[in-house]
Structure 1
Amino acid sequence: MFDDTIAAIATAPGEAGISIIRMSGSKSLEIVDKIFVPKKNKSIKNYPQRRLVYGHIIDKNKDKIIDEVLAVYMKAPFTYTREDVVEINCHGGIVPVRNILDLILKNGARMAEPGEFTKRAFLNGRIDLAQAEAVMDIISAKTDKGFDVALNQLEGSLSKKVSEIRDIIVELLAHLQVSIDYTEEDIQEITYPELLSKSEIVRDKIKKLLDTSETGKIIREGLNTVIVGKPNVGKSSLLNALLRESRAIVTDIPGTTRDVIEEYVSIRGIPLKIVDTAGIRETEDVVEKMGVERSKEFFNKADLVIFMLDASKELTKEDREIMEHVKNKKAIILINKTDLPQKINENEIKEILHDKKIIKVSIAKEVGLNELEEEIVKMVYGGQVKSREMSLVTNIRHKNALEKALKSIEESIEAIKQELFFDLIAVDLNDCYEYLGEITGDTVAENIIDNIFKNFCLGK
């Protein structure tokens, strides 16, 4: 438990129906009692905890009512932070919220740092570090599926799997320590085959978690998707169709899109950060030329490329140049305008992009969009089960820790195969245990903890 009491606004700034100011710490009840006057009693202390109490926030020095509010006191340890917590529900808006917070700070609280409420929940043992990070993922989730994955982690799904792996390592380390310390005693030592078998189980479990990291990153951050093609092939029409709104200007004039347009769209629960680029072609127009250069930059950074071609026209030099770049990218090929007489040579496309999925569409007639969405889902999940049925590694910090743990267990396995001394094997096993502990926060450095919570919003 901490000695000081913190306070912050827990709701987003701006005009709203209500805003919430939150306090946490041993002086929370004492502070709210100084500034809050219930309608029917002299003190909030006369009410049971966890009951919303109607009354007024009053600046007693000025004998002035600040706002009409509902206040609730929650006693430790059954709170978000495992400390005494008070929440004040006031009218939304900058003025009442600011005045109430100023009054709280004048009466003994201090301003909370970003993420400090959740940090206290972690340090007080209510949640582990992976669960704390899931709180921020819930707040920033862009789709229902992203929310589901984050909620799973908040409920401890990833932490449980990591703990199961660490339990196996602890068992191995215990057997090794007994074998090292009591070599002269009549105690049955663990054998190298036993060590190898259980170490391989550890390795396989870590690999299984790592295999979800690419999908998890996409669910958490979105799939960087770029629509490319020469001018007037239907890129902006595709963006509008995916968004279900007219976001990009669509005309028959080549070069209408002269810069990139970025939007978020959810494809069956998968968040796509989708970019409609300027048509890639040789041009003398200075503004369009700058747009083409930006298109190339986004193309190089993309996780997924949607390359569009015009079925009603023969392949051009520009088409072929783009195809050469697309060859080395994760890409889907869309042949658009299939409602018009077809002139494009599909065989040539297949020769150059033989390993890419080709989908025929007509954006104007709304044909083929379902197949495109199905292919995106297939590429992201690779046939895996739905996100609610598995623990996805969505955090780059978790992925890095798992990679280090995997390296350590593989070194341990190699030492076991060579039948090296038990104490040498134990070093690598212990390293693996420590790296896994970084995920849940059991073995993580204090500066890393501070950096994680700095990314949180105030009041959380």
Structure 2
Amino acid sequence: MSKISEVICAPVTPLGFSAIAVIRLSGKGCIELVANHFSQSQKLLSSPSHNLILGTFYAETGEPIDEVLISVFREPHSYTGEDVIEISCHGNPNLVNRILQTLLLSCRLAKPGEFTLRAFLNGKMDLSQAEAVNDLIQAQANQAEKAALMQLKGFLSKYLQELLARITELRIRFELAIDFADQDLPLPDSNALYQELLDIIKTAEELKSTGEQGRRLREGIKICLTGAPNVGKSSLFNALLQQNRAIVTPHPGTTRDYLEEYLSLNGFPIVIYDTAGLREFPDDIEKEGITKSYELMQESDLILYLVEATTVTNPNLQFSDLLSPSSIPPDLHSKTLVVFSKADLMQENTPQIFPGIYCSVITENGLKDLTDAISKRLMLNTELPNKPIIINNRHLVALSKCLQSLHRAKQCLKENQGYEFIAFELISASNALEEILGVITTDDLLDKIFSEFCIGK
């Protein structure tokens, strides 16, 4: 890990032409560094924190580069906890590069996530909050944004710190019990200790149970469109996206590979797949597409199996025939929603023989019943619960380790094993939670986490 006293700099706005661009510097001496190239150098050097100064930025040769606005943030009242300078210049990539080249003569380019890493190392946020910064940047829909913002504001940290305090208090009571036994003093109430341990386990399990919802918010909910060729999968795919992404023709087998796109439904990120039609005797290329279709069905959270509404008017047809093993494997029936497509082609007053969702991509509100059914099936509540959600896989793994130790402690207590064994398991449970908060970390772990950030954050 690089020395955190070094001055680092990086652009914090994307490359390209824009109204303005921003370059950030952090570290001891960054204010003096910028003052050496700034027309209002004395004003900058004496500036208080959270102040703006307008002036001209000069190259090393003394040539003026641009008129800039400089924001001053003095330690510890900054994002990183160090002195921070942000230079707002005109958004011409050439100007940005010239300013950067001038600065880099006296400092170095920041690594991905290094500003946030310094914020963590300087105690401005714990590790779970630092990770939430990247989650907020990468969020695909507003519910994912809300969950990341809650974590950034410390909802998860506060919850875990309270849980950690309860585990620590219980461990101390068991350690005291060891001393009581050595001194022939009355032992604590084992039933009360056991009940407290059960309550702690319940709290941890409730938090872990949010992991599936968190995964969906972070990675997106996977929905697979499947069915026989030419039943309207690509048309439905385009209608849900509200753009012509997939080729639609009257000829069966148009989609031979799969298409993947993101959309938002009730604020939740959705990954939707348009797959090759399922049919017997396909050619070799189409056969590979069908094989991939079955793989995507296995990975998906929900399968929309399309059937043309006009083909199911036969009263002798059984509903189970629609989901035959040759179409949807039996083990996937539980996550399959039957969708009767092209419902606009049905004659008026035609009875809807089978339960399912009847939809049309060309009529007004023709998809409303379908999107409502998807939301209900996946329980996409528009309001997140007012409690933390585990949206990070690293946190879920650490919480699982914590629960394993808590359950071992419970087993030790039930079997009347020594209190020292119970205390040991409680220490292991605490260590797992401290991994999430960053109390216990390694350089390798920090490098891995922050390497996923963009440069400038």
How far apart in 2 are the matches of 1:26 and 1:208? 44
Partner of 1:2: 4
Partner of 2:343: 338
How far apart in 1 are the matches of 2:366 and 2:445? 47
Residues 311/10 of structure 1: CA separation in 2 closer, same or farther (3 Å cut): same
Partner of 1:421: 418
Partner of 1:355: none
Instruction: In structure 1, give the amino acid aligned to 2:194.
Output: L
Partner of 2:28: 26
Query: Is the contact between residue 53 and residue 69 of structure 2 (CA under 8 Å) also seen in structure 1?
Result: yes
Instruction: In structure 2, give the amino acid aligned to 1:143.
Output: A
State the 1:377 CA deviation.
2.4
How do 1:177-188 and structure 2 match up within 5 A?
A: 177-185=175-183
How do 1:342-357 and structure 2 match up within 5 A?
A: none
Query: Is the contact between residue 144 and residue 218 of structure 2 (CA under 8 Å) also seen in structure 1?
Result: yes
How far apart in 2 are the matches of 1:413 and 1:368? 54
Partner of 2:116: 118
Partner of 1:137: 135
Deviation track 1:236-264 (CA, whole Å, cap 9, x = no partner) reads: 12112211222223333222333322111
Quote the RMSD (CA, aligned, Å).
Answer: 2.5
Residues 98/344 of structure 1: CA separation in 2 closer, same or farther (3 Å cut): farther
Instruction: In structure 2, give the amino acid aligned to 1:195.
Output: L
Partner of 1:156: 154
Partner of 1:442: 439
Residues 200/368 of structure 1: CA separation in 2 closer, same or farther (3 Å cut): farther
State the 1:326 CA deviation.
6.6
Residues 437/327 of structure 1: CA separation in 2 closer, same or farther (3 Å cut): same
Residues 190/376 of structure 1: CA separation in 2 closer, same or farther (3 Å cut): farther
1:57 aligned onto 2:54: no
Q: Which moved more, 1:11-20 or 1:157-166?
A: 11-20
How far apart in 2 are the matches of 1:366 and 1:346? 23
- Secondary structure at the counterpart of residue 116 of structure 2: helix
How far apart in 2 are the matches of 1:319 and 1:206? 39
Query: Is the contact between residue 80 and residue 119 of structure 2 (CA under 8 Å) also seen in structure 1?
Result: yes
Partner of 1:261: 259
State the 1:137 CA deviation.
0.7
Partner of 1:249: 247
Deviation track 1:191-250 (CA, whole Å, cap 9, x = no partner) reads: 211211111111001110111111111011101211011111111121122112222233
Partner of 1:80: 79
Residues 189/90 of structure 1: CA separation in 2 closer, same or farther (3 Å cut): farther
Deviation track 1:125-154 (CA, whole Å, cap 9, x = no partner) reads: 110111001000110111111111100000
1:237 aligned onto 2:235: yes
Query: Is the contact between residue 298 and residue 332 of structure 2 (CA under 8 Å) also seen in structure 1?
Result: no
Instruction: In structure 1, give the amino acid aligned to 2:95.
Output: P
Name which of 301, 305, 308 aligns with 1:307: 305
Residues 376/391 of structure 1: CA separation in 2 closer, same or farther (3 Å cut): farther
Instruction: In structure 2, give the amino acid aligned to 1:233.
Output: V
Residues 377/189 of structure 1: CA separation in 2 closer, same or farther (3 Å cut): farther
How far apart in 2 are the matches of 1:194 and 1:158? 28
Q: TM-score, normalised by structure 1?
A: 0.90
Q: Which moved more, 1:294-303 or 1:440-449?
A: 294-303
Partner of 2:44: 44
Name which of 372, 375, 378 aligns with 2:373: 375
How far apart in 2 are the matches of 1:131 and 1:59? 38
Deviation track 1:97-127 (CA, whole Å, cap 9, x = no partner) reads: 12211211212x2221111111111111110
Query: Is the contact between residue 25 and residue 84 of structure 1 (CA under 8 Å) also seen in structure 2?
Result: yes
Q: Report the number of matched residues.
A: 446
State the 1:340 CA deviation.
3.2
Query: Is the contact between residue 9 and residue 459 of structure 1 (CA under 8 Å) also seen in structure 2?
Result: yes
Partner of 2:454: 457
Q: Which moved more, 1:450-459 or 1:337-346?
A: 337-346
Instruction: In structure 2, give the amino acid aligned to 1:4.
Output: E
Query: Is the contact between residue 310 and residue 344 of structure 1 (CA under 8 Å) also seen in structure 2?
Result: no
Residues 388/45 of structure 1: CA separation in 2 closer, same or farther (3 Å cut): farther
State the 1:182 CA deviation.
4.5
State the 1:25 CA deviation.
0.6
Q: TM-score, normalised by structure 2?
A: 0.91
Residues 346/433 of structure 1: CA separation in 2 closer, same or farther (3 Å cut): farther
Instruction: In structure 1, give the amino acid aligned to 2:30.
Output: S
Runs of 5+ unmatched residues, structure 1 = 351-357
Partner of 2:289: 291
Query: Is the contact between residue 192 and residue 419 of structure 1 (CA under 8 Å) also seen in structure 2?
Result: no
Query: Is the contact between residue 267 and residue 382 of structure 2 (CA under 8 Å) also seen in structure 1?
Result: no
Partner of 1:14: 16
Runs of 5+ unmatched residues, structure 2 = none
Query: Is the contact between residue 230 and residue 319 of structure 1 (CA under 8 Å) also seen in structure 2?
Result: no
How far apart in 2 are the matches of 1:120 and 1:28? 15
How far apart in 1 are the matches of 2:189 and 2:444? 40
How far apart in 2 are the matches of 1:189 and 1:29? 62
Name which of 208, 211, 218 aligns with 1:210: 208
Q: Which moved more, 1:243-252 or 1:300-309?
A: 243-252
Q: Which moved more, 1:50-59 or 1:296-305?
A: 296-305
Deviation track 1:298-336 (CA, whole Å, cap 9, x = no partner) reads: 223222211111121257999631133573562221112
Query: Is the contact between residue 257 and residue 286 of structure 2 (CA under 8 Å) also seen in structure 1?
Result: yes
Residues 75/186 of structure 1: CA separation in 2 closer, same or farther (3 Å cut): farther
Residues 20/388 of structure 1: CA separation in 2 closer, same or farther (3 Å cut): farther
